[in-house]
Amino acid sequence: MSVEPPTHGMGPALRLFFSRFWLAKLLALLLAVLLVVLIDRELRDTLYSDVVSIVSGEGMTGNAISVILPPGFTLAREETNAPLTAVLRVSGRRKDRDRLQLPIRAVIPDERLASIGTERSEWVSLEPADLQVGALAGAEISFEKPVRIPVAREDELELELRGVPAAPLPDGFELAAEFTPSRVWVRGPAPLLRRLRFLDVPLQAPKVEGAESRDVEGLPAEMQRLGMRKSDDTKLTAVVRLTSREADSLVLTGVRIVVLRSLKPPFEFALEAPYELEHMNVTLVGPRTAIARLREDQHALQRLRAELIVLLPAERAAERERTPIAPGETRVLEVLASLPSEALAPYGLSPKEKRLVVPVAVTRLKRAP
């Protein structure tokens, strides 16, 4: 009689495990997988860690912190030539990684800027709490190092425009520009505006000697980088001239002397140019090309010859005489004069004499007895 050894294999046990209550076991497995996924999504991780630029205002793009300042304040970019940057770190739930949107807005509270005056800018701290990350609930924001930004009060000033070459000029030439309007209102950091007398506008010179008219699109890029902008939408145009530095002269012959008199009575003096000096010669100097253009402009020449205007009313000159002019006496006085500026300005010319002096015959009137 033979006895078979007992069988201890796992096959029947496994079949029994999967064959009994299989639906409950499958549900438990699915719940376990879902729990792992949910836990993984709730685990915290670093969502962002990189260098960001610090810029001012809305409408920016890219990896940046867009600083929103209260009205009347601006970033004082002239305090540093290097770009303002910071190392930003944002940590949160892994599932929010794709919800982080750049640039991030940062709103500076008013009370932090209360000590800033108009004389100088100040460095103000930028706090992680200032950053607005929107839908990233529970996100933690930090900087690698404390961040400070230069802030100044804004001001408004009217500045005269001055053209400067945008590129080196040919040897022996110079650039001149006339703007319309000649002055603009500019808004920007008050400490910077207080140091400016002119607003230099880089201009491309004409390729050949002569003049070109062109539109000027806003303020120069460097001025915009420093936080400056036009106060209005006034259109700017410029007439740009490339002229030779070689000097020349032109003698205006027979320029008529026009004597101004005071419009305020009583009229105590009779004024006239002496007969032999009713006209005089005036020498103009300036670039050779400008002199050549004036010679061809007969209308401008006639305008210049028409009147040499006496600037100082001769009555005032007579009143300043140490020896008073007696009634009926005529005395020749020398007073300052000027050519019509509107006729000279388009050519950039000036009289050779720094001070134009003309004689005026002044006669004190006899009063009725």
Q: List, as one string, the DSSP characters of 45-107.
A: EEEEEEEEEEEESSS--SSEEEEEPPTTEEE-GGG-SSPPEEEEEEEEEGGGGGG--SSEEEE
pTM: 0.51
Structure letter (DSSP) for residue 266: P
- Looking at the DSSP bridge assignments, the partners of residue 184 are 159
Structure letter (DSSP) for residue 122: E
Q: Of the given ranges (160-164, 205-209, 309-313, 320-324), which has the lowest mean pLDDT?
A: 309-313
Q: For residue 337, what are its two tokens? A: 């004069």
Q: Give 363's pLDDT tier (boundaries 50, 70, 90).
A: confident
Strand 131-132 to strand 198-203: parallel, antiparallel, or no bridges (unpaired)?
A: unpaired
- Condensed to tens digits (0 to 9), the pLDDT of residues 28-67 reads 777 777 766 665 555 667 888 889 988 887 666 778 899 9
Q: How far is the C-alpha of 259 from the C-alpha of 307, rounded, in Å? A: 9
Domains 154-244 and 247-364 in one fold = yes
Could you tell me which residues come within 8 angstroms of residue 319 by beta carbon, excluding any fewer than 6 positions away? none
Amino acid at 190: A
Residue with tokens 């140019």: 273
| Range 72-89 average pLDDT | 82
Closest CA to 219 of 210, 207, 228, 209: 228
Q: How far is the C-alpha of 55 from the C-alpha of 106, rounded, in Å? A: 10
CATH number of 247-364, picked from 3.90.1200.10, 3.40.1110.10, 2.170.120.30, 3.40.50.2020: 2.170.120.30
Supply the pLDDT for residue 123: 92
Which tops the pLDDT comparison, 270 or 46? 46
Supply the pLDDT for residue 314: 62
CB atoms within 10 A of CB 206: 16
Cβ–Cβ under 8 Å, residues 363 and 318: no
Q: Which CATH superfamily is domain 154-244 in?
A: YbbR-like domain (2.170.120.40)
Closest CA to 239 of 161, 335, 185: 161
Cα torsion for 268, 273, 275, 278, to the nearest 10°? -160
Strand 236-244 to strand 173-180: parallel, antiparallel, or no bridges (unpaired)?
A: antiparallel
Q: Of the given ranges (97-101, 103-107, 328-332), which has the lowest mean pLDDT?
A: 97-101
Strand 198-203 to strand 229-230: parallel, antiparallel, or no bridges (unpaired)?
A: unpaired
**Residue ranges of domains in the chain:** 44-152, 154-244, 247-364
